[in-house]
Each structure stands twice: as structure tokens, then as C-alpha cells.
Structure 1
């Protein structure tokens, strides 16, 4: 649910989150919102009924728990600090048991009420006296159902009246009491045409709907299980001393040990290198080798042999501040803020209940004026109360949004703002950043030109030795290429017996000078620097015009030019297929980068974009300006600090898996798996989710509008009104359940990424590891 008191007030991502206890339905959420919105200093108040999360934006002094809790308590609810996800799941499980017990009582005793009423309706009893006795029996069986099973409805109705926001539960309570009062009045007059069955059916069917709805809410909260980490004890090292502490008590700066095969419990910096399986957080199927000093996130698994030494990590984020914790909190914070469809549903539900009450009040005297008897007029007024319950309207959007968020997380997409589904479903223009988004961020050799007569394998072996200790961004690509054997004897084997590097001198921004143990010297660097070292221009065959887009590394020795290596940042494996799918779907796709024209044009060609769709050498401001020129709404995918402006300007911003902290904070969604195929899945899922939202909202709104008009114009039995109202709520819930319980490939129109079904295990002794 969402109420905006001041739409011009800026959204505050640091606004506090609380948990609301005691809610029974969406009317409770609206009642609490109304009360919080009237607190001085509160700019915005929002209650998300499916997760019982309260988001309040305003002056810090006005949004404190000590200020808001008494306001909520006066209505009969309780406000607390945001509960952990596992506590929310336990609370919903308890609610399910609570509902099940009341439903059993209502179903078992209500069955006898329904049976007695059926015998009366079909005329199966021999005389009027027995009919009257059976009618009294029907009323007796209905009392426990009304007094026990229906109690939560009366409590919620009273609370919403206190908040001056009467909702569905007021209508339900009046409908039940009205049916009981009319029935008792008829019995006292000696008539057996009672409506105890109406009261019973109203309570039982609504309890069924509430139970199914609670199960859907539990299913939605399971989305957070993917971000939940075990809370086992960890080993903390203090010099030579090792101590075991609960993970929640470990402080920043502590050095912890992670045994082989176990998950890293806290974010930190590696003290010792090791192989990490990042599948839990990123979906990568192959472990990565991380060096000492590199950052590691909680949830990664130490993929080493069981007899290997423990991994040591210096803690940089404690429990509650880890990356997965912040991601989970961002999702819960965003779920309390709703989009336009949800606000529309709220507005419709907020005026529907008062209108229904007014119609019910007017129906009785109007029926009497039209010549109806008191009994008929009262029954028609009762039908108005029953049929107008707006529970389907209140559930139409929030349940669909929660189900869509759950599906997105299962498909490797974490949504900070589920309301973005509404914008994503209407996106027309999509723009991608280049480096780190459409590319891997690691250069590889795409072409090598070698001096005639040189042995390639020997050159690769010497190059391996020359660059193995370099920290230059191109070094990893050169090392990777140097380790690729084109002969039966691998370069790795050669460089073990070949002369090692004796001396290496770095020239920042220019290159490096390498002296081998056999006395041979190499120079590696830019063409201009190599020419300066040689004192002569490079030969014509040292330059290849077809690879002008690539970064060049020129190698020379005492005899002159030796080789030119062309390195380019390779596109991610799924970029071409994903962009082709987006273009086939009718999206306008563009590549906007701050890089040079050559690399941008080459990448666009590799991923299937036209030259006119590739924009190079654009500043952050220019990127945002180009984004505005695309058909709106727009989606922008970027990973760097220079992309934050575009992420904010876009209708929806998405950060890829390896995005910077600034980009992740500025994006509405984050990809948890490598590549960009998640964009295709996200857009397909958004269309499906919005379709469910619209279906729910249109159907529930049409039902309530038409049903109210129908019952005011003609006589509709209260039991029929009960069945129609329950069918409306159940149809909304079950329609949403199709989305919540769908398999990932069923909920998306695009296939899942091809991930290995079996995780790669760390190499055993004697096996070579891939280069990091």
C-alpha cells in the first residue's frame, strides 16, 4: 500500500524501515498509513502489506520509532524495528497456523449450518415446525463460527474505524452482524427463511482467501533466502592465538579463517590468496583465483582441497553491513514504495468502502419507499455490504509485485525497486555502457605480428617471464596469450627451463625494460617509446591498419623490432545474442561510451550494433543527454562512477554483476549473474508482471463497480453475493500465484543462461589451474 502526502518531497533512501505487527488485511495497511501521514513532520508514509514493512520519509525527529510507535499502538497495532527475514517467515508461518485453526472451526461447524439451511431452502422438511427447529439449529452452529472464526475481521474493522479509514473489514463485520440480526429477527417472527449460512460462508470463504494469500506472501519472502547466509561461529586470529566467536560479534579489522569448502561469512580483504567459488553471489560456475589484497564478499565459497590451509580474510563489513545484507535491505526498502498502479488501487479501495457503506444505508429506506417489505429491503442492503468488499482491489498490485520480485531474484536479478516493473514493461530505448558492461573488462590479444624467422613458442615463453610480475592492465591478457601453446611443447614448460628475468625496470605510462639471465634485453611498451629506445622508426610491418582500434604493445630487442601485439577488451559471451534479441523485440538499442571511437566501433560490430548506434568519447553529461534523446521510457546499463548520472536519468537503471559501489547504489536493479542476458529476462518478466497487475486491477475494479450497481437495482441473495465476492478475491490471488509459483523459464519469454549443472571443483595435485 502507498500513500503520498507530499509528492514533491524528495525520496530518502535512508528513511527508516519498520515492521508492523497485527495487520490483518490491506485495509489495516491503509489505516496505519493514514495515521502516520497525519504525524507532523512526516512527508511520506507507506505500508507494504505482503511483507508488513513500513517506510516513513520525513524529518529525522518525526520518523523515529519512539514517535511513531505510540501513534500505531492507539490503533491496536505494534511497530518495531525491521525484523530479519527469517523472523518474518516464522511470523507468516504462525499466521498460517492461526488461520488454519479458525478455518477448521468455521468449515466443520459451518458445514452443519449450510446443511440445515439447504434442507430448508429445498423444502425437504415435512412441516413448518420442523423447519423452524432446524433454523434454530442452524443458528446455533453458526455462533462459534461468527464469534471465534470471524473475530479477526471485527478487530481489524474496529481498528480501521479508529483510524478514520474504514475498509473491507468494516463491510465484512457489518455483513456478518447484519445477516445474524436479520436471521434472529426472522426467527422471532416465526419465519425459517434465515441467513445464518450467509454469515458463515462470508467468514469461511474470506478465511480461505486469507490463507492462500498468506501462503503467497510466504512464497514471496523465499526470494530473500538466496541472500541469506548461515550464522555459524567463525575462527578469529589474534597473532598466534585463535579464538571462536559468533559471526555477529566479529568486528571490523579482525582477521578470520575460512576452512576449505566453507562460505566466506563476512566481506573483507584477502590476507592469503586462494580459489573462490562466487556462484552464490554471482552465478559463475568456475572458481576464480584471487590474490592477497583483493576484495571478497560474504557468500563466496573457498574452493580448495580439504587438506589446504585456511583462507585468511581481514573483515571490512560486519553482519548487517555486508553486501548481501545491504542488497536484501534495499529490496525490502523498495518494496514499501509502490508505483502508479498500486497507488491507483489504493485510491480505488479507499473510496470504495465509504461508498458501499453509503449505498447500504440508502438501500434500506429506498427499498421501503419503492414498496419493498422491511425484510426484503434489509436483505438487499445486506447484499450491498457483502458484495462491496474491496479485498481483491487491495491485493491486485502488491501481490503481483512481490511475485515478480521473487521470480527476478531466482533468475539472477535483484530489484531495489519493485515498482520499476511498471516502467520496465513500457521501456522503448535501451543504452549500454561499454567497458565492464558489454565487455569483460580484461584485454586479450586479438592479433600478433612477429618478426620473420622468430620462433613463436620461444617468444611466448620469454613473454610469459617478462610480464608475469607486471601490474599493467594489459599484462593479464599478454600472459594469457603467452600461455597458449601452438606446438607440442607448451610455453609453460619452456619458460621453466629458459633463462629467467634478471632485472626489470618499469617506466610508468611508457613501458618496461627487461633483462634476461642470458644477457638479452627486451623493451615492451608504446610504439613511440620503443622508437625512442631504438633511435629509429618502426618498420612498416610493425603496424597493421586493420587493428588500429586495439591497444598496441610493441616488443623490441637489441636487433630492433621484434613483435607487435594487439589487445582488445572482449565482449561478454552473451552480448551478441542478448542485443539481437532486444532488437528483434523492437527496442531501440545504443552503445554509449567514454572510450575512443576505434574500440567502440569494433565492439559495436562484434555485438551486432550499427555504427549509428555506437557513440564514443562521451562525458558523463553527454551520456545522460544522449539517453534523454532515446525513446522514452529508457533503460540504462552501466557499471562505473561515470555512469551514475545516466543511471539516475534513465527510467530504470541496471548495474551489471561487477559494477562499482556507486553504480549499484544508483541503479534500480542489479544483475547477479555474469553477462547481460539478465536484461532480456528482466524485460520479459516485467511485461508478464505488469500484465498480471493490470489483469488483477481491471477485474477487481470491474467486479466491485458492476456488483454494487447490480445489487442496488435488483434483489441478489446474500449467499450469492458472498460467493461472488470470494470468487473475486480468490481469482486475484490465484492469478498472481501463476506468476509466483512459475518455473523461472516459464515466467520469462527468454531462456535461462547456460550455466554448468555441476560446479567446477578445485584442481587436484598435478593439474594446472586457469590463469586469474
Structure 2
């Protein structure tokens, strides 16, 4: 097995002395979990480990003497679980698991919060009903937070989950104590709405609403996060769906259809018109035109004949082919692209979310402050009830509900606004990177251009008529299924004439008799075969068209070449304006394409690009992006639409896929544009920057709220019930601030 290095060159890591082991990892709740497992595995002698939180995979390069069981035991010792991947196993749906807990939590929390905050709803015995409703929320629904807390405590670490677990448990347990041992359990009891604590407090208040509210809000944020994260692994599944599932193999002179897994190198297989080419190979017999757009993203078909190399997953458009397999399975070009996508995803691990960074310091401080509050009040001679209640107030007011909601609510509001504008935002990582982007690389076909072939020009020979040239070309091409032929027929509005003796010459063009006279449409080689001379004016026109990236078709009748028709992929009308807007955002623009240098430079000049990388092979766009990143010092965005763009989209700091492109490209991207309009890429970056600024504002105010409120709670001036309300208010503020994104409008 080969793995790609950072410079794109394959490096063989599997040898008799070394092995590669993939593991499915369960139990991770944040990026710090992945980092902890990776660190634990890497401590083993000779082990190199990479753990991807998004895909829940561990990629381990280990000495031959180390077994998978050893690695699994190491992961389990870290407090998590792992297993070898099960072939064809359905990926675990984390979002669905969280959604079940969220639905139960929200259903039970609403009446608890309503009864606590609306006195008329406090019927006799309401507090015991609140206990019954809150218990499943604090135990079952909140179990992931409690489990994470226990795991982290084993390693001496504290995260957001730690404070959530402690705060909700404290609120619940103290409420339970108040019900059983205090006056809060008396039938007919109602909340006493006092702001500060009473020094003769007799356990008459309960705080179930704070506990269930915190859990429900945080679960909502985790659900949004899980939905975005589970999509990160969909790129590989989309790539897997591109290839053929079965193949017709020639064995013993007979055609036998077998699953693609049964195909081996040197097998000869049949590809009929309209079928996918099963794997990489060389044409043994037959002539045809191959549509490589699913692999290369380029719309122009490629003529093939015996000896031509073909790529798996491309589509045979016209003739019957017999192909000899030269690579199968993991060695195919499609598989290598998929592998590059996987490597890029694994190498794109970002630092912990800002809220987690804050909580890494904030949580231990809050716990310490709560303990100090308890001890100080006891030392000052206050009752245990007063001291414990003050400490609980500190924990409740400090519960990072607003911190936890800061990112997902802004992301949700920004995503909803983006969807209205035709932009899909995958997750917070895209927002972080959009703010930093300095260079944007753009694919040509289907990105800067429309992705559909159309008539470019008709050039008649001296003395000929352009309309007649186009009509004759459309007549001849009307019997062909070639994409160039379809574009010519579509462009002609004249009624085509009757054909006789039609024949398709693969790699050359077509010929027939029109009104009894020989006629032909095709390339220069076909005209030469006919013995028809091409006027110098048409040869020059063909050369000029080629510089523009156009395909040319010469048209002749009865021994005379009467003109040529040029077909090309038109530049998107908004491309130039979009490139100008990207420059206004301070971005350097570079086009990356498989087209020839002349055609690429022509398009770049038309839209005002800063640079061009032409003649880039399908697997090399990954390397170009890596080069532009300059060793990771320059943040790069990539805009593309083909399968060959998928690896580059994943490697880029920000991947932007045109929605008109392939599923694999869309799945590998961070942002997806739902219509073919490059200006949407500009809007996507602007919206991403605005959303990220909103997230940062949310985090700032949520943190400042905690800093200001904790001393008030510690001094005994804040009843836990009001602490819970204040915590809820901070969440409302964050949500309201995020919802302002719904009115954001792009500036065109």
C-alpha cells in the first residue's frame, strides 16, 4: 500500500518490517479526544498514528510485531473503544444518536422550565412532577457529558463536558436534597422570587429547570455539530459510487459479466456505448470518444483507438471497445484520488474549537471558585445551606451554555441564510479558514466556464456562405451522438437534409452523401483522407480557435472544404466580475486546468486572473494546491467541480465545490455552490467571514458574562434560580445575535 506525502509523492510505508492498521474508534466527543488517542498510540515504540475525529478513524503505521489487539487495548486504556473496520458496515450515525437524546430532553424540559418560571403553573405537587420529568434528562439524555467527564478526569483533564456535568448534577442533586430534606417538597410550595440568597434559607427552592435547560441547549449544539462532522466522510463514499459495479469480461471467446472485484490485471473486457469503463486500461480494439468529465471535469470528449490509454469510471460515448486492464482495485487512478482525499482529510485536523480552548482554562477555575465559595462561607460562620447554595449558584451561572451555543447557532443561522442564497456551509472549520484565505485556485471547465459545449464561430472559406456551412455541418452531424456533433446540431436552426451512405470514422469525423454529392465533417486528417485541400484562411482560423481552447470541425462537399465550425465551452458571464470581487477581498487568483497553456492563458486574460497552472494532470491538482500552500504558510481555497478536483478540494484550506459538479467534489468540499455562478464563491467567502465574526462576538460576550456574573454569585447576591435564568438569558442573547445573520445580504 502506498501513502501520499505532503508533497504529493507516494511513499511506501508497508514493508515486511512495518504494517498499516486502520481502526474504527468509538467514544470521542471532541477534537481533544482524538488528540489524546493519537498521543497515546504514538507513545508505542515505532508507531505513527493519525486519528481523525470527523471520520472516527485511526490510521496507524506500526512495527510488524505489533498486533491490532495491542492497538485496541491502548485505545481502551485511554478510555475509548476501537475495533477493526467491518467491510460493508454502515457508518455509525452520530447525529441520529444525539437527536434521540435531544428529542427526549426537549420534550421533558419544556414543562419543567415552564412550571419553574411561570408561578400560575405551579400546581400542588408540581415540584415532584418536575423531579420525575428531569430525572431522565439529567441521567440518560446527559449521559454523554457524564461519561466524557469521567474519562477526562481519569487523565487529569477538564473540558466543557466537565462543567456541564458538574453544573447540571449539582443543580439536580441539590434540588433533590431540598425536596427530601428541606421544605421544597411540601405540597403547595411555590418559588420565592428573591434575587439574593437569604441567610436563613431553608431549602425551599429547586433548580431542575436550570439542569434540564442546560442539557437541552447543549444537546442542540452538539446535534448541529454532529450533522456537519459526519458529512466529512461522505467524500470517500461518493468516490466509491463513481466506479462501475460490474464488467463484461472476454473469457474463452465468450462475454461473461462478473462483479468488478473479480477483474484482474490483463483481463480483456468489453465497453459498449453509454457504459462506464470498468478500470484503467489500454484499448485493444475499437474506436470511440470517451467522456472523461467525471474524472477530469473537462467537458471535451477524447477520441480513443487501439493503443490509447483509458481511465476507469469514464464513459464510452460512441463505439464498442475492448480494453485490457492495466490496473485494478487500489491501484487505479480513481482509487488513488480517493486515497488522496482520505489523506487530505486526515491531515486537515484543526485545533480545538475556541470554546473548548476557553473551557480548558475556565472550567478548572470555576470548579476551584465554587469550592472556595463553599469553604469561605463556612469559615465565616454561615450555614451549610447558605454556603452550598452559593457554591451551586457559581456552578450554575458558570455553566457554559452560551459558550456551547456560540458556534452552532451562528453556524445554523449562517447556513440557513447561505442555503437561501444557494450556498451550503459544511461546518465551523470552513468559517475559520475562509477568514484566513490568501490565495484562491479555480478549476476552468465547469467553474470559470459554463461546462456545456456550444457554438463558438463559423468561418466560411472564401466565396462560401456561413449559414450554408453551418447547415451542412448540422446535417452531417445529425446522425452522430458525439458531444461536439450535438452542440453543432443544437446551434443550427435550419432543417437538416436527407443523408445517404452515412459513416462514422472514429477519431476523424463523419461522411455521407447529401443530394447525391459526397460531403464530410471532421478534422484535418479526415479532409486529407478525402483528398480535399484546406484553404490557408481556414487553417489559420483553426489555429486561432485552438488558442481559445475551441474544437474545430472542417466541413466540405464534393471535393471542396467550404468552411469550419468551432465549438467551445463559454466563459461564465459572471466570471470576470467574480474574479474582480475576489481581488477586492484581497485574494490572489490562480487557474488550475488540464487545458493547454495557450487556451488557459486566453481564458485567464478574459477574466483577469493573476496566474495560470496549465497542462495539470488529473491527479496533480492536489500537488498544485500543496505547492500554493507553501508548506502550510499560505491558506489556499480551491474551487472545482470534478472528481479529479476532490483531492485538491480536501487538501485546500477551504474547498468550494460548484453544485453542478460531481457528488464526490461536493462531498469533499467545505462550501458548496448550488448553482453555476462563480459570484456565489465571493458571496460564500463574505458570508463565512461574517458568520465567523458573529461566532467570535458570541464567544466574547458569553465569556464576559461569566466573568462578571461569577463574583456576584460567589458573594451570595444571586439565587440559583436567578442564576439559571441569567444563564438562559445569556443563551438567548447569543441566539438573538446569531439570528441577525438571517438578514445578511451580499454586496454586488
Bin the TM-score by the shorter chain. Answer: 0.5 to 0.7
Matched, 1:652 2:636: yes
Whether contact under 8 Å (1:69, 1:80) holds in the other structure is yes
Whether contact under 8 Å (2:295, 2:643) holds in the other structure is no
Deviations along 1:88-147, one digit per CA (max 9) or x if unpaired, are 454542443355456767778x689959x979x99x99xxxxxxx998998798777766
| Separation (CA, whole Å) in 2 of partners of 1:481 and 1:135 | 78
Q: TM-score, normalised by structure 2?
A: 0.63
| Separation (CA, whole Å) in 1 of partners of 2:543 and 2:267 | 54
Change (3 A) 1:166 1:554: closer
| Separation (CA, whole Å) in 1 of partners of 2:269 and 2:693 | 48
**What's the counterpart of residue 193 of structure 2?**
none
| Separation (CA, whole Å) in 2 of partners of 1:272 and 1:548 | 27
Matched, 1:171 2:163: yes
CA RMSD across the alignment: 6.9
Deviations along 1:239-266, one digit per CA (max 9) or x if unpaired, are 4464575x777778878999999x9697
Alignment of 1:604-615 (within 5 A): 606-607=606-607, 609=608
Query: Displacement of 1:476 after TM fit?
Result: 8.7
Whether contact under 8 Å (2:435, 2:692) holds in the other structure is yes
| Separation (CA, whole Å) in 2 of partners of 1:46 and 1:738 | 36
Query: Displacement of 1:207 after TM fit?
Result: 3.4
**What's the counterpart of residue 522 of structure 1?**
533
| Separation (CA, whole Å) in 2 of partners of 1:82 and 1:255 | 33
Deviations along 1:549-607, one digit per CA (max 9) or x if unpaired, are 769999999xx997886969654334535536626955566567999998677545643
Query: Displacement of 1:165 after TM fit?
Result: 0.9
Query: Displacement of 1:737 after TM fit?
Result: 9.5
Change (3 A) 1:97 1:461: closer
| Separation (CA, whole Å) in 2 of partners of 1:60 and 1:657 | 40
Matched, 1:204 2:204: no
Alignment of 1:350-361 (within 5 A): 350-361=360-371
Whether contact under 8 Å (1:237, 1:257) holds in the other structure is yes
Whether contact under 8 Å (1:106, 1:149) holds in the other structure is no
**What's the counterpart of residue 496 of structure 1?**
513
| Separation (CA, whole Å) in 1 of partners of 2:409 and 2:10 | 23
**What's the counterpart of residue 73 of structure 1?**
76
Whether contact under 8 Å (1:436, 1:659) holds in the other structure is no
Alignment of 1:493-572 (within 5 A): 495-497=512-514, 500=518, 514-516=528-530, 521-523=532-534, 571-572=570-571
Deviations along 1:410-467, one digit per CA (max 9) or x if unpaired, are 9999999973532323446656576886456989754636223x46577668989999
**What's the counterpart of residue 714 of structure 2?**
712
| Separation (CA, whole Å) in 1 of partners of 2:592 and 2:147 | 59
| Separation (CA, whole Å) in 1 of partners of 2:277 and 2:104 | 40
Matched, 1:363 2:368: no
Alignment of 1:128-139 (within 5 A): none
Q: Please state whether the residue corresponding to 1:419 is helix, strand or coil.
A: helix
Matched, 1:450 2:461: yes
Matched, 1:680 2:682: yes
Change (3 A) 1:676 1:427: farther
| Separation (CA, whole Å) in 2 of partners of 1:85 and 1:209 | 35
Whether contact under 8 Å (2:439, 2:590) holds in the other structure is no
| Separation (CA, whole Å) in 1 of partners of 2:541 and 2:342 | 52
Q: How many pairs align? A: 672
**What's the counterpart of residue 385 of structure 2?**
375
Query: Displacement of 1:76 after TM fit?
Result: 3.9
| Separation (CA, whole Å) in 1 of partners of 2:521 and 2:106 | 82
Whether contact under 8 Å (2:243, 2:312) holds in the other structure is no
| Separation (CA, whole Å) in 2 of partners of 1:231 and 1:477 | 24
Whether contact under 8 Å (1:19, 1:54) holds in the other structure is yes
Alignment of 1:36-185 (within 5 A): 48=53, 51=54, 53=56, 66-81=69-84, 87-88=90-91, 90-98=93-101, 100-101=103-104, 152-175=144-167, 178-179=170-171
Alignment of 1:595-744 (within 5 A): 603=603, 606-607=606-607, 609=608, 643-644=624-625, 646-649=627-630, 651-658=635-642, 660=644, 667-668=652-653, 669=655, 671-672=657-658, 673=660, 677=678, 679-725=681-727
Q: Any unmatched runs of 5+ in structure 1?
A: 1-8, 126-132, 469-474, 531-541, 624-636, 752-772
